[in-house]
Chains A and B, each alone.
Chain A
């Protein structure tokens, strides 16, 4: 036997595929697969929501609040609750016992959550100049309940988040998961927003006898919109504030609601 010196052979234990190729194939492939699953989930949730009676939902979730949120008591909270009750009284056969809460955020925002929970951001309350403006916002959220959008969106969010936890839970992609699910949680479709707006405005008309002030809040938001924000609102499918106030005004004229009337003070 003869010892023959040689260098180790290469290219046996290491694939010569470029790492970036593997990376892009995986990222694109998984993104497509995930999008497909998301579409299917959204489809089935939308099918299932009308099958759940509103009364059953209102009853089962009547005291549910999201983790980490505390419903504060106090003068402002009571006034908010009172205004919501007054508006909801104009919705005949309303199955919900509405509860309201305030959450801290720098963006003026409001949301409708299952079980008749309406949350308003601190920035929104700060930006309100009359009760009528706040009534328009609350009426809009009540409109989402009337169409059961809140349950649809919440259902999607929950199912997608579970899916995300199962697939990406152990991996490094959690930030991506958070991103997608919060995007899904935050956006109603444009059509749904318009519907909620008109239902909300009808409640405001019934409460005050006029709709004056309803769009002033959106007008002010529109004035603050930057160009980037406009692009972002297109992407987020939320109607841009300026278009929205214009549309509300047109709706009021169509329905013959009074555009003039005394504004009620808020705080």
Chain B
């Protein structure tokens, strides 16, 4: 094959291989993460994580403190490629949805794990925050990943109280 034809095909071929490899690695990691999330959620199922801003007046709290959990996740090449195509025509970027779902649930899980380890009985006033981490490439225009932060007030009951 002439070197011109080859030089035209090479970038196309490398893009294709990169897409294929990142798709398989990316979805394998995603499946594994979801499995881990489900197991841990099931284990922490009985720990109350609530969004109340103020305590119900029947609750008697001995101590409270800030608890938080954060996670930083990055996009894989395949997801970014699909999203770039999607941005031409608009619509839901479906490949990003599981990514953000994982981030939200992981952040809440980490917060809950911290609360449980500290000895709290519940977390109230739970909030989620997200921020974008800019890429160092392309003048910081690209996205390196997002940080998902879950925080709330961990409380320890003064006496047994089921709420």
Tell whether A and B belong to one assembly: yes
Whether A171 lies near B94 (C-beta < 8 A) is no
Interface residues on A, range: 35 or more
Q: Which residues of B contact A27 (CB under 8 A)?
A: 85
Q: Which residues of A contact B89 (CB under 8 A)?
A: 26, 29-30
Q: Which residues of A contact B79 (CB under 8 A)?
A: 19
Q: How many A-B residue pairs have CB under 8 A?
A: 98
Q: Is the interface of B mostly helix, strand, loop or mixed?
A: helix
Residue from the set A26, A167, A186, A228 with the largest chain B CB neighbour count within 10 Å: A26
- A interface residues (Cβ-Cβ under 8 A, vs B): 1-3, 5-8, 13-15, 17, 19-20, 22-23, 26-27, 29-30, 105-107, 109, 167-168, 170-173, 175-176, 178-179, 182-183, 186, 226, 228-229, 232, 236
- B interface residues (Cβ-Cβ under 8 A, vs A): 1-5, 8-9, 11-12, 14-15, 23, 27, 38, 41-42, 45-48, 56, 77-82, 84-89, 92, 94-95, 97-98, 100-101, 104-105, 162-163
Q: Other than the known A19-B78, A232-B5, A236-B5, what 10 A-B pairs have Cβ atoms closer than 8 Å?
A: A1-B56, A3-B48, A5-B46, A13-B97, A19-B23, A106-B3, A107-B3, A170-B84, A172-B77, A183-B8
Pull 25 A–B residue pairs with CB atoms less than 8 Å apart, ordered by A: A1-B163, A2-B163, A3-B163, A7-B41, A7-B42, A8-B105, A15-B94, A19-B23, A19-B78, A19-B94, A19-B95, A22-B86, A22-B94, A23-B78, A26-B86, A30-B88, A105-B4, A171-B88, A175-B14, A179-B11, A179-B12, A182-B8, A183-B8, A226-B1, A232-B1
